[in-house]
Amino acid sequence: MTSALASQMELAQVVDGGLAHVEQAMRDATDSQVNVLRDASHHILNAGGKRVRPRLMLLTYLTLGGTDLDYIAKPAAAVELMHTASVVHDDINDHGILRRGRPSVNAIWGRTFALLTGDFLFTAVYELMASYGDLNVDLARAATALVEGETLQASAVKDKRFTREIYMEIIALKTAALFRAASAIGAKLAGADPSQVRALSDFGFNVGMAFQIVDDILDLVADEEKLGKTSGKDLMQGRGVAVAMNAGNGSGAADPMDAVKRKLLEGDTLEKAQRQAEFLVERAAETLAMLAPSPPRAALEELAWMVVKRER
Amino acid sequence: MTSALASQMELAQVVDGGLAHVEQAMRDATDSQVNVLRDASHHILNAGGKRVRPRLMLLTYLTLGGTDLDYIAKPAAAVELMHTASVVHDDINDHGILRRGRPSVNAIWGRTFALLTGDFLFTAVYELMASYGDLNVDLARAATALVEGETLQASAVKDKRFTREIYMEIIALKTAALFRAASAIGAKLAGADPSQVRALSDFGFNVGMAFQIVDDILDLVADEEKLGKTSGKDLMQGRGVAVAMNAGNGSGAADPMDAVKRKLLEGDTLEKAQRQAEFLVERAAETLAMLAPSPPRAALEELAWMVVKRER
């Protein structure tokens, strides 16, 4: 075994250990005295998920020389719980009944408790981060952006103004901002200098943009079983990357659904979207060039490529 | 004019000035680039409200010698926005169509946008407090308690287990915890010593308990026009102080609604509840005795009595 391969295997163990800490931190933070909040939170946490946001934070932290995987566990848990909160509320608004291969919280506990469980996950984030000082500025901004992105999306669908520009703004707010915060917090906790924090923030942002584009492609092409969540919601609701790619620049109106679906299946819309996601990851990878090569830097780059090459 | 009266009038001006700062901080924190979030937030903020939580924080701060009304404005705004967020989500779950004398956010913008507006108000709280360090521990705990209280209430109604003990636990979590945080943060920002912080926290907690009991009485006896919100919801939904007072200790089941309503109108349930609220305020007022008399201390005591004597 080469020493490079050996140190990569060692890194994988470190990352797995760190992610196990994150899982524990998420369970602890949601261990409410109120049964339904604990049960519903643990239901969705136990379903797993890709954990791409905490992985991004962890790898950023390690790449910049961080070593205390216990200290990073809580912010990494916070960033994943923030995402989980938004997913629980999404499934109310979108009537999603399947999530991570399980019935959604909404489907099992009903709308009232799903709303409260999402709120509880938000407050769990707040509690987890309360003693982390100014890092809260990064996460709070991302939290606001996330809600703004979701709202902009619902508004655009309602007003039938789902253009490419609005699509890019939506995914920047609802997804890429939280990826950026994950990287920024990982970098800051590792004691990175401001130029490194900026570079890694850009890295996270671009990976987040790519992640959402691919997510939207998978929503169209993957079957529900593989995807583990209610699919085809985007098209049904007049949104997502395909609707945006077909709407033209600033045309102000999406085609009726049937026409869009026909276009998608015939045209090269999805290939174009996939290429755009890959372009974003290339740009992200370039940002890493300012850092000395190392196993965590390689793993960070690999994570970025995994985001565009995944099938679920 | 006596000098005591003169200094009381001076204090009233200071408090009004401080509250004007709070209003501005709330408007600024909710001035989203996304129209519907800004409009819905400003709709409910413009409707006014008693602002009892920021007033409590301000008066606690002044009583303990605080002077910088600009610095206290953001935490005071955060505590009121936290309450406002929960109100917006409440009106979804309870189908409340009237709030603060206006149509609820839910009634105007519909469920999807009401859910997102509540989320946005939560994240606005988080952003407002992000640079206030460990004070976030107090507010984050109160936020979690608030959601736990609302959930415990919905669970108790669903399981028909609306006993006095559970009622007291619910209002401690959903209301008194945030009042306690308001006082604790006001005291800490004024540089109070730990025993003063504890005393004022207890004061806030007891005033919060009394406030919720009186709120629940008003829900039964006041008409909607005076109250400015959909009333009678508690009884309709099998909860609130009256249902709890009639359920007996640990009996495990509330009477059917008709029987409860008859009992309420005949019996002394509401007088008993009112006496309990007044007892809590007496206990709260006693806590203030450890502090030297001053116009803000008198105003704080007056606020506590206002809470039980109000008619809306």
Going by pLDDT thresholds of 50, 70 and 90, the confidence category of residue A260 is: low
Nearest Cβ partner for B112 among A93, A127, A130: A93
Q: Which CATH class is domain A3-309?
A: mainly alpha
Does position A262 have pLDDT exceeding 70, yes or no? Answer: no
Instruction: Please report, for chain A, the start and end positions of each structural domain, with discontinuous segments joined by +.
Output: 3-309
Contacts of A119 in chain B (CB under 8 A): 86, 89, 118-119, 122, 147, 150
**Nearest chain A alpha carbon to B144:** A123
Instruction: Give the nearest partner residue to B144 out of A92, A123, A137, using CB atoms.
Output: A123
Q: Which of B144, B174, B178 is the best mutation test for A, with the most CBs of A within 10 A? A: B144
Copy the structure tokens of residue A224. 């529900």
- Spatial distance between the Cα atoms of B177 and A269, rounded to a whole number of angstroms: 52
Reported as a single tens digit per residue, the pLDDT across B69-85 is 989 999 999 999 999 99
Closest Cα partner for A79 from A213, A208, A170? A208
A150 to chain B, any CB pair closer than 8 A? The answer is yes
- Residue of A36, A118, A124 with shortest CB distance to B144: A124
Gap from B29 CA to chain A (nearest CA, Å): 10
How many other C-beta atoms are found inside a 10 Å radius of the C-beta of residue A223? 9
Name the least confident of A2-11, A221-230, B268-277: A221-230
CA distance B187 to B233: 35
Banded pLDDT at A127 (limits 50, 70, 90): very high
Is some CB atom of chain A closer than 8 A to the CB atom of B179? no
pLDDT at B255: 47
- Of A37, A118, A134, nearest to B131 by CB-CB distance is A134
**Given this model, what pLDDT does residue B253 score?**
42
- Across the interface, whether the CB atoms of A136 and B140 are under 8 A apart is answered no
Q: How far apart are CA A279 and CA A138, in angstroms?
A: 26
Contact A237, A213 (CB under 8 A): no
**pLDDT confidence of residue B223:** 67
The yes-or-no verdict on residue A251 having pLDDT over 60 is no
Q: Which residues of A touch B130 (CB under 8 A)?
A: 134, 136-137, 139-140
Nearest CB neighbour to A34, from listed B129, B140, B152: B152
Mean pLDDT of all residues in chain A? Answer: 89
Contact B33 A148 (CB under 8 A): yes
**Cβ contact, residue pair B141, A127, below 8 Å:** yes
Residue B253 has phi, psi (to 5 degrees) of -150, 130
User: Å from A5 to nearest chain B CA?
Assistant: 42
C-alpha distance from B286 to closest chain A C-alpha (Å):
31
Per-residue pLDDT band for A246 (boundaries 50, 70, 90) equals low
Residues in B touching A136 (Cβ below 8 Å): 126, 129-131, 136
B89 touches chain A (CB under 8 A): yes
β-pairing, A102-103 vs A98-99, is antiparallel
Using an 8 Å CB-CB cutoff, list chain A residues near B118.
119
B122, B135, B158, B166: best to mutate for the A interface, most A CBs within 10 A: B122
Q: pLDDT tens across A93-114, in order?
A: 988 888 888 899 999 999 999 9
Query: Is B37–A148 a contact, with Cβ atoms under 8 angstroms apart?
Result: yes
Kindly tell me the sign of the dihedral angle through the C-alpha atoms of B68, B69, B70, B76. Answer: positive
B146 close to A (CB below 8 A): yes
Number of Cβ within 10 Å of residue B288's Cβ equals 17
CB contact under 8 A, A143 and B150: no
Run means of pLDDT, 10 residues per run, chain B, 312 residues: 73 94 98 97 92 97 94 97 97 87 92 97 97 95 98 93 91 98 98 96 98 91 68 72 63 48 66 94 95 95 95 78
Please state the rounded mean pLDDT for residues A57-84.
Answer: 96
d(CA B26, CA B125): 9
How much is the ipTM here?
0.90
In this structure, the strands spanning B98-99 and A102-103 are unpaired
Percentage of chain A exceeding pLDDT 70:
87
Contacts A110 to B, Cβ<8 Å:
none
State whether residue A87 is helix, strand or coil. helix
**Contact with chain B for residue A159, Cβ under 8 A:** no
**What pLDDT does residue A39 have?**
98
Chain A contact present for B126, CB below 8 A? yes
Q: Give CA B160 to chain center in angstroms.
A: 25
Contact yes or no for A112/B93 (Cβ under 8 A) = yes
pLDDT in tens, A135-151: 999 999 999 999 999 99
From residue A273, alpha-carbon distances to A157, A244, A262, A276, B180 in Å are: 20, 10, 17, 5, 51
Q: Do B123 and A146 touch (CB under 8 A)?
A: yes
